[in-house]
Amino acid sequence: VIDCVAMTLTSPRYIGVDVGGTKTLSVLVELPPHGGHPIVLDRELLPSRADSDEAVGMIVQAVTALMERAATVPAAIGVGLAGFVDRHGIVRSAPNTPGLVGMDVAGELGLRFDLPTLVDNDANCAAVAAHRVVARDVDSLVAVTLGTGIGGGVVLDGRLLRGANGFAGEPGHMVIDPDGPECPCGQRGCWETFASGTGLGRLAREAVVAGRAPNVLAAAGSVEAVQGEHVTDLLHTGDDGALEVFARFAGYVALGIANLILLLDPEAVVISGGLSAHGELLEHLVGAELDTRFATSVRHRNVKILVGPGGPESGAIGAAILGAHRQAG
């Protein structure tokens, strides 16, 4: 007991904030030295806001609440959000929080709290969390977040891959079918038009129109109303139509992953996000596709495919870890 108390008093604490589409999760985390397992001491869940003042205000409110409850000042603050954050910390795009575009959010928070502060892409946060929490023995990994779209982060040879602008590791808009469906980004056939939650919904509607998924149609009520959830909700019943759609979806997930493996040669691919709730089935289907259809990509390699191991707090924990990197300089 005494050892635990001593560690609590001496390990540095950080606050990590994960600004999601509807909710903002903030955690107070202890990061033991030498890459030890992060310990979440407290958490605060608040609604996300699109407006710039309200969005920053919500982060300030969460950080303040965590500091007051613990009667502690963290060593640094890290914030993760969906979108592009450039090397200077300026938010360049933010689909969930458009009010933050053009803002130096880290600068604003740094002034408010007088602490080292960093803002980064949420998938980069997920990648460093995966590296520290679930794949500690791995030097190179690709983290892929399957949600409404697809996020990505790459840790290569132990370092988060940044690129010229800080935008490296965005596989969602790799084009995998030039004649494919229109993507909101303006291109056609992006990976995320097939292998995200939105993509699963599209594949499900195709199957329904072809008469191959009658129970998915019955669950949704009409073709237009069919969403990815109508498929995933039926998976546990063993419904043939739902399983066929999900297998096709997994084929597209595997296709993108195969390309990433060829380009980056990771030891592990970590899949997180809403669709990783069906982890065992997805892991099995993706693994089978990689071993057969994409054998060329994985031959001579021993790539671990890990689905959904990080848990819902991994984005916020990763933000705290990146905050710690900022503090370390």
Interface ranges with Zn ion (CB under 5 A): 173, 183, 185, 187, 190
Beta bridge partners of 30: 13, 39
Instruction: Choose between 115 and 123: whose C-beta lies nearer to Zn ion.
Output: 123
Instruction: Choose between 187 and 215: whose C-beta lies nearer to Zn ion.
Output: 187
Quote the least distance from Cβ 191 to Zn ion, whole Å. 8
Quote the least distance from Cβ 175 to Zn ion, whole Å. 8
Quote the least distance from Cβ 89 to Zn ion, whole Å. 25
Instruction: Choose between 117 and 196: whose C-beta lies nearer to Zn ion.
Output: 196
Instruction: Choose between 183 and 268: whose C-beta lies nearer to Zn ion.
Output: 183
Quote the least distance from Cβ 275 to Zn ion, whole Å. 18
Q: Are 85 and 79 in contact (CB under 8 A)?
A: no
Instruction: Choose between 11 and 259: whose C-beta lies nearer to Zn ion.
Output: 259
Quote the least distance from Cβ 94 to Zn ion, whole Å. 16
Helices 122-133 and 314-328: crossing angle in degrees, nearest 10, is: 90
Instruction: Choose between 133 and 190: whose C-beta lies nearer to Zn ion.
Output: 190
Instruction: Choose between 33 and 178: whose C-beta lies nearer to Zn ion.
Output: 178
Closest-CA residue to 83 (of 170, 17, 9) = 170
Instruction: Choose between 61 and 187: whose C-beta lies nearer to Zn ion.
Output: 187
R_g of the chain, CA atoms, integer Å: 20
Six-digit token string for 273: 């996000």
d(CA 143, CA 313): 15
The dihedral through the CA atoms of 186, 201, 286, 321 has a sign that is: positive
The dihedral through the CA atoms of 33, 35, 40, 43 has a sign that is: positive
Quote the least distance from Cβ 173 to Zn ion, whole Å. 4
User: What are the b/e assignments for 115-137, b being 16+ CB within 10 Å?
Assistant: bbbbbbbbbbbbbbbbbbbbbee
d(CA 38, CA 78): 14
* Beta strands in the chain, from DSSP E residues, in sequence order: 13-19, 23-30, 39-47, 76-81, 84-85, 91-93, 117-121, 141-146, 150-156, 159-160, 268-272, 304-307
Quote the least distance from Cβ 252 to Zn ion, whole Å. 14
H-helix or E-strand spanning residue 174: none
Quote the least distance from Cβ 143 to Zn ion, whole Å. 19
